[in-house]
Structure 1
Amino acid sequence: MDDRKFSVLIAGGGSTYTPGIVMTLLESQKQFPIRKLKFYDNDAARQKKIADAIAILMKERAPEVEFLATTDPETAFSDVDFVMAQIRVGKYAMRSVDEKIPLKHGVVGQETTGPGGIAYGLRSIPGVIELVDYMEQYSPNAWMLNYSNPAAIVAEATRRLRPNSRIINICDMPIAIMDRMAKIVGLPGRNDLVFRYYGLNHFGWWTDVRDKTGRDLMPQLKAYVAKNGYWLQDQEPGKEASWISTYKKAADVYALDPTTLPNTYLKYYLYPKYVVEHADPNYTRTDEVEAGREKTVFGECARVVANGTAKDIQFQASNHSTYIVDLCTAIAYDTKQRLLAIIPNEGAVANIDPEAMVEVPCLFGANGPERLSMGNAATFQKGLITEQNCVEKLVVDAYEQHSYIKLWEAMSLCKIVPDAQVAKDILDEMIVANKDFWPELK
């Protein structure tokens, strides 16, 4: 380590995940010291709810770190080393639409997969590109760690539209699962695991997991997952019902290929009928988040502001935020730590399209990620990946070409959607709902 300190911008400062990131940054000052922390959001009122509480926290716990929140791009993006991007274009109102329109048609309604993910992707592309352009204009040597969803579509868009940008697309879902794996085998955390993993974002498989002595952990993990999924049972009191179901359902996903361990999101593609049958079209994940995490986070921020002190603040670091700080540290200090990222394939999975944006382990250093070879995808995985990757490419084609047909093709090809007529019915309804966000389709 040296005596450098870094300037960090959280783009999407009004996110309910922001306080957890700040807590991690404060706890990681020895690992990754910061001199400046900035929030940027285009929704001043929402950001203010978070920022007013964080200003009190920073003054009490890190008065030496400059803190500011702004809606001005030049102020936000100037003098920045790392941008942590977590925007949600259309906010929860549009997420609710993404979930509920497909469910009306008997199709999975989920924010990153199927028609909902496609709709969200078309909204996210211009928002993320705008952030990249601001960074390149005001801090061209900065790195952007983007975890704005849906990461697969955003990654394909940035590959095409900003191929030389210093953006790294990431996702914390495999990280959360690896934290669970560590608990299952009795290790402190995910950084104690050495793993092999490949796929697309929210669409991947572990082929090998070991501890740092080389001990094979797959037999123990497989035995547990076959029975429980990734659900940790009595270790998680108060966990939201939707996540309990998701972690448990991993057992059924695993059963399809007991040679690997799956990402939880594969349940939406492999068991869509089950997902729809167990969904409430009037109370989706958005409603759960608004009644749960959003209410809790904004309530805690309001309490801190009302009391004028953060001495007993309830926010904690999360796996989501510790992963981001690990990435920043690896880049800043050229540590070559093994971490996941969504990058152009270019041979990392040998028998998959070299232009596919795959999620694989990389060694992270001063020049960003260096992909590691994961060999060939098995036939089952190759078929699924090829189909889903084509869906993602067609969505970006539709964005670039303003093409109705390309978007209809994307929805029709998607494994979650039963046929082209259902795809068209959903698409036509989605066009009306997204009139303020999507390009005009022809």
Structure 2
Amino acid sequence: MTRKGLKVVTIGGGSSYTPELIEGFIKRHADLPVKELWLVDVPAGERKLQIVGDLAKRMVTEAGVDLDIRLTVDRREALADADFVTTQFRVGQLAARAKDERIPLKYDVIGQETNGPGGLFKGLRTIPVILDIIRDMEELCPDAWLINFTNPAGMVTEAVYRHSNWRKVVGLCNVPIGMQMGVAKQLDVDPSRVHIDFAGLNHMVFGRHVYLDGKDVTKEVIDALTSDKESGITMKNIVDLGWEPSFLKALGMLPCPYHRYYYQTSTMLAEEQTAAAEKGTRAEVVKKLEGELFELYQQPELKEKPEQLEKRGGAYYSEAACRLIDSIYNDRRDIQPVNTMNLGAIDGIPYESAVEVNCVITKEGPKPIVVGELPVAVQGLIQQIKSFERVAAEAAVTGSYETAVLAMTINPLVPSDKVAKQLVDDLLEAHKEYLPQFFGEGVGVE
């Protein structure tokens, strides 16, 4: 490293989440000397990039830290000699997400950003872009770490391992840290006193054991989860429906908020259909929220992350992302749940596949903590989702229509091969602009 300080590049820098990231770097500046932060976006997002960038500069000035904020729509200019690259983009922006959420509802199938048909098509749009970014990184910053926050994070990380030679990649999600914070709130203690053993896949992770000051309190936490009150262990974008006590007690582990789509499918579908009819899909709600946020961001007197950002659903994003970068840079060897190569940590998942598991974070990257065999009650579902991620990644890279139908069919939220084909046809047509790999010679919708 020739510069005095780190160069970080954030692709998708015009996101409403970016002030979270800025706050995280400001808080850690003494230990994590980020000298340059490049915020990168596509030309269509240039206005938002400018608004967020101006707020970022005001935040840095107000905090009095030596951090140079650069804005660009030229990704290659930004990537040159980067130390860390973070990705938080959405191909097709919120309009694409709204289609992912609304189209499946026509077939009485859950429409969700990272699960089921919506998750598949977000992956199909995202994976080619991630692989393109990696090709640039191989040339321009071959020693950099790629920290991917772009959903579906597990599928994207899987695609990097399967379809590139890049290994300095970590997939990141705010669900585990959100679960930790939720348990701490439930127990009315500081989050630093709570430790959870996480294992599974992205948005399919389980808290196998919960500890308070080293004492196993899993049973007490599960008992509290099955009470009538809201658990607090959910996300802004997922309704807290509560759990059937007998199911949860027999499971003996903490499910993550996204498990509701698999264990409460019909109820979640009904909730989605009602919400879509009455107030719009989650993407449509978020679009309104984002409009309000960007109005706020433009106010010259705003010099810190606004409280309203918490409604957006990205709580603890900066905590997760900046903590990870800090731990890699400083070789902290602390324990964090991330998406990384399995390397035998979870029995029954291929060695080279991506898993979400507690890891010791070192300057060489995450070292997964061995879990062994998962309980039989959850092993099958996790393996099915891993099959889905692998086949979906292959479809994204090859542009094979048949492989996309296969991926859609094996997803547990899709009821049949016929419905899968109809969903693929509709969603391919809806996202045609962002799926060129499916519309080349001899490839496309039948």
Same fold (TM over 0.5): yes
Query: What displacement does 1:313 show?
Result: 6.0
Aligned-partner residue type, residue 281 of structure 1: A
Match in the other structure for 1:299: 295
Q: Does 1:89 align with 2:91?
A: yes
Match in the other structure for 1:177: 179
Query: What displacement does 1:257 show?
Result: 4.1
Match in the other structure for 1:271: 264
Change (3 A) 1:286 1:353: same
Give the ranges of 4+ consecutive aligned residues of structure 1 lying more than 4 Å apart after TM superposition: 250-254, 315-318
Q: Where does the alignment leave 5 or more consecutive residues of structure 2 unmatched?
A: none
Q: Percent identity?
A: 27
2:246 and 2:122 map into 1 onto residues whose CA distance is: 25
Query: What displacement does 1:133 show?
Result: 2.4
Do the aligned partners of 1:108 and 1:114 also contact (CA within 8 Å) in 2?
A: yes
Match in the other structure for 1:137: 139
Q: How does 1:29-178 map onto structure 2 within 5 Å?
A: 29-42=29-42, 43-62=45-64, 64-178=66-180
1:80 and 1:379 map into 2 onto residues whose CA distance is: 43
Cα offsets for 1:364-392 (capped at 9, x unmatched): 01100101111211112111011111111
Query: What displacement does 1:312 show?
Result: 6.6
Match in the other structure for 2:276: 281
Match in the other structure for 1:357: 354
Q: Secondary structure at the match of 1:262?
A: coil
Do the aligned partners of 1:254 and 1:260 also contact (CA within 8 Å) in 2?
A: no
Q: Secondary structure at the match of 1:425?
A: helix
Q: Does 1:314 align with 2:306?
A: yes
Do the aligned partners of 1:227 and 1:251 also contact (CA within 8 Å) in 2?
A: no
Q: How does 1:352-431 map onto structure 2 within 5 Å?
A: 352-431=349-428
Query: What displacement does 1:166 show?
Result: 1.5
Change (3 A) 1:146 1:421: same
The answer to which of 347-356 and 318-327 deviates more is: 347-356
Aligned-partner residue type, residue 40 of structure 2: Y
Aligned-partner residue type, residue 142 of structure 1: A
Do the aligned partners of 2:99 and 2:430 also contact (CA within 8 Å) in 1?
A: yes
1:312 and 1:341 map into 2 onto residues whose CA distance is: 28
Query: What displacement does 1:159 show?
Result: 0.7
Match in the other structure for 1:24: 24
Do the aligned partners of 1:197 and 1:374 also contact (CA within 8 Å) in 2?
A: no
Query: What displacement does 1:229 show?
Result: 7.4
Do the aligned partners of 2:160 and 2:166 also contact (CA within 8 Å) in 1?
A: no
Do the aligned partners of 1:253 and 1:270 also contact (CA within 8 Å) in 2?
A: no
Do the aligned partners of 2:330 and 2:363 also contact (CA within 8 Å) in 1?
A: yes
Change (3 A) 1:274 1:144: same
Cα offsets for 1:328-385 (capped at 9, x unmatched): 1110111111011112222111233333321111100110010111121111211101
Cα offsets for 1:67-116 (capped at 9, x unmatched): 11111123211232211210111100100000000011100000000001
Aligned-partner residue type, residue 298 of structure 1: F
Match in the other structure for 1:260: 253
Q: How does 1:185-204 map onto structure 2 within 5 Å?
A: 185-189=187-191, 191-204=192-205
1:254 and 1:298 map into 2 onto residues whose CA distance is: 43
1:230 and 1:249 map into 2 onto residues whose CA distance is: 7
Query: What displacement does 1:252 show?
Result: 6.6
Cα offsets for 1:305-326 (capped at 9, x unmatched): xxxx445763589511111111
Q: Secondary structure at the match of 2:360?
A: strand
Change (3 A) 1:51 1:100: same
Do the aligned partners of 2:222 and 2:249 also contact (CA within 8 Å) in 1?
A: no
Do the aligned partners of 2:391 and 2:406 also contact (CA within 8 Å) in 1?
A: yes
Aligned-partner residue type, residue 29 of structure 1: H
Q: Secondary structure at the match of 2:288?
A: helix
Q: Where does the alignment leave 5 or more consecutive residues of structure 1 unmatched?
A: none
2:318 and 2:232 map into 1 onto residues whose CA distance is: 21
Query: What displacement does 1:412 show?
Result: 1.1
Change (3 A) 1:218 1:413: same
The answer to which of 390-399 and 126-135 deviates more is: 126-135
Q: How does 1:245-256 map onto structure 2 within 5 Å?
A: 245=239, 247-249=240-242, 255=248
Q: Secondary structure at the match of 1:303?
A: coil
Change (3 A) 1:284 1:221: same
Aligned-partner residue type, residue 177 of structure 2: I
Number of aligned positions between the proteins? 426
Aligned-partner residue type, residue 211 of structure 1: L
Change (3 A) 1:284 1:254: farther
Do the aligned partners of 2:29 and 2:65 also contact (CA within 8 Å) in 1?
A: no
Match in the other structure for 1:9: 9
Q: How does 1:225-236 map onto structure 2 within 5 Å?
A: 225-227=225-227, 231-232=231-232
With structure 2 as the length reference, what TM-score do the two structures score?
Answer: 0.89
With structure 1 as the length reference, what TM-score do the two structures score?
Answer: 0.90
2:40 and 2:93 map into 1 onto residues whose CA distance is: 15
2:356 and 2:230 map into 1 onto residues whose CA distance is: 20
Do the aligned partners of 2:341 and 2:353 also contact (CA within 8 Å) in 1?
A: yes
